[in-house]
């Protein structure tokens, strides 16, 4: 018989008034506290909890979204990876895909920011008249008489004069865009060596100490993109994991081959990065499989997930690395940057 049943059957309770019953019941509770039910089972539960906590500490896994985000933020901001070595030669990439909305600008600024975070000196050259890369790096292109990539292309100022340092990292720089770029292609048509304007301007990089340079192109195959392809030996193609992802890629590859044949023999597609990956859909896996079949080992193992945070960051004039270092997007770009840095340059670019 339980203690509670004993209290109920106590004769004193039945013979007392209602008020006295309450007083007696209270005194009985104080005298004889109820024995805990399932004490032995509770003891084992406590042991299980201890074991689970040890397991979490051993595997560095956190069982809450906030905890997981905090862990990722610590990995990004205080990376426990081995430090990245500087490349033997400066690496210069054009990020191209004439299909809009595939993540060219996002990839350019976040790879550069991730590399700068790890101690390397990075530069983003914004050739898109929209100037989104400049904005994401915290550099306003609306200030009066701020030199831009347009001024460098037409030869008005030197590259070094137009460079701006990002407020988020002293090792992260940008050659900002301006709305004047919208008419630059018309002006370039009549210029001598119009396809080589950017390559000529970038000879100044030999006097600057950059490890990585990324050129962000407009979503077209016009003269601005041609200038970028002529200036850089390596091409990064971002491809979104969605329907029609490969639409236009074959045309881009044809253009790259034409530029390689006539203007830049060193040009190679060295890296393909899968963006906007949604693991909840079969389509994303199918697209990723198709891209890997087509490009082989050029595709990074790291994929960039579809993320609200990645989309929000430019609205605050920040990269995802600075906006939300605990997000999966930031972690993915950090991993992608390391994978990119640890890849060797093609043999044709060495020496």
**124 by DSSP, 3-state: which?**
strand
Average pLDDT across the chain, whole number:
82
pLDDT tens digits for range 73-90 = 555 555 556 678 899 999
So what's the pLDDT on residue 200? 96
Own/partner pairs, 72-77, CB within 8 angstroms, 24+ separation: 72/325, 72/326, 72/327, 72/328, 72/330, 72/331, 73/324, 73/325, 73/326, 73/330, 75/331, 75/334, 76/117, 76/321, 76/325, 76/326, 76/330, 76/331, 76/334, 77/117, 77/325
Query: Is residue 10, in this structure, part of any structural domain at all?
Result: no
So what's the pLDDT on residue 74? 59
Structural contact between residues 235 and 270, judged by C-beta atoms closer than 8 angstroms: yes
Query: Is residue 60, in this structure, part of any structural domain at all?
Result: no
pLDDT surpassing 80 at residue 68? no
pLDDT tens digits for range 228-263 = 999 999 999 999 998 888 887 888 999 999 999 999
Structural contact between residues 136 and 317, judged by C-beta atoms closer than 8 angstroms: yes
So what's the pLDDT on residue 78? 56
Query: Is residue 37, in this structure, part of any structural domain at all?
Result: no
pLDDT tens digits for range 264-315 = 999 999 999 999 999 899 999 999 999 999 999 999 999 999 999 999 999 9
Query: Is residue 187, in this structure, part of any structural domain at all?
Result: yes
pLDDT tens digits for range 177-194 = 988 888 888 888 888 889
pTM across the whole model: 0.77
Query: Is residue 36, in this structure, part of any structural domain at all?
Result: no
pLDDT tens digits for range 147-172 = 999 999 999 999 999 999 999 999 99
pLDDT tens digits for range 318-342 = 999 999 998 999 999 999 999 999 9
Query: Is residue 61, in this structure, part of any structural domain at all?
Result: no
Looking at residues 98-102, what average pLDDT do you find?
85
Return the CATH number at 119.
3.40.50.300
pLDDT surpassing 50 at residue 15? no
Give the residue numbers spanning the domain of 192.
88-345
Query: Is residue 257, in this structure, part of any structural domain at all?
Result: yes
Tokens of 144: 């009066």
Structural contact between residues 149 and 197, judged by C-beta atoms closer than 8 angstroms: no
Judged on CB neighbours under 10 Å (0-12, 13-18, 19+), 27 is: exposed
Query: Is residue 58, in this structure, part of any structural domain at all?
Result: no
Q: How confident is the model at residue 26 (pLDDT cuts 50, 70, 90)?
A: low
DSSP bridge pairs for 164: 174
What is the Cα–Cα distance from 41 to 27, expressed in whole angstroms?
29
So what's the pLDDT on residue 242? 86
So what's the pLDDT on residue 14? 45
Number of structural domains found in the chain: 1
């Amino acid at each position: 018989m339980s203690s509670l049943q004993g209290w109920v059957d106590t004769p004193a309770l039945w013979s007392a008034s209602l008020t006295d019953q309450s007083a007696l019941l209270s005194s009985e509770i104080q005298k004889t506290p109820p024995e805990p039910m399932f004490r032995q089972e509770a003891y084992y539960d406590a042991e299980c909890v201890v074991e689970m906590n040890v397991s979490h500490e051993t595997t560095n896994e956190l069982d809450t979204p906030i905890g997981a985000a905090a862990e990722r933020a610590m990995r990004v901001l205080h990376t426990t990876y081995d430090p990245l070595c500087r490349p033997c030669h400066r690496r210069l990439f054009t990020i191209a895909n004439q299909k809009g909305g595939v993540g060219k600008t996002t990839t350019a600024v976040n790879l550069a920011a991730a590399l700068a975070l790890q101690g390397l000196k990075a530069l983003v050259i914004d050739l898109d008249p929209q100037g989104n890369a400049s904005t994401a790096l915290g550099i306003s292109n609306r200030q009066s008489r701020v030199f831009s990539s347009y001024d460098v292309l037409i030869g008005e100022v030197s590259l070094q004069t137009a460079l701006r340092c990002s407020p988020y990292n002293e090792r992260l720089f940008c050659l900002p865009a301006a709305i004047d770029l919208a008419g630059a292609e018309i002006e370039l048509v009549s210029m001598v060596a119009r396809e080589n304007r950017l390559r000529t301007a970038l000879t100044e990089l030999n006097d600057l100490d950059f490890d990585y340079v990324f050129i962000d192109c407009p979503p077209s195959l016009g003269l601005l993109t041609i200038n970028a392809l002529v200036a850089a030996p390596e091409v990064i193609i971002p491809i979104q994991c969605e329907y029609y992802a490969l639409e236009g890629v074959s045309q881009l590859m044809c253009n790259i081959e034409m530029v390689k044949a006539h203007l830049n023999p060193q040009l190679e597609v060295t890296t393909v990065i899968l963006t906007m990956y949604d693991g909840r859909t079969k389509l994303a896996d199918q697209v990723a499989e198709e891209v890997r079949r087509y490009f082989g080992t050029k595709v990074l193992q790291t994929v960039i997930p579809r993320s609200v945070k990645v989309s929000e960051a430019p609205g605050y004039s920040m990269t995802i690395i600075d906006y939300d270092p605990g997000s999966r997007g930031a972690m993915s770009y950090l991993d992608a940057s390391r994978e990119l840095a640890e890849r060797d340059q093609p043999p044709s670019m060495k020496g």
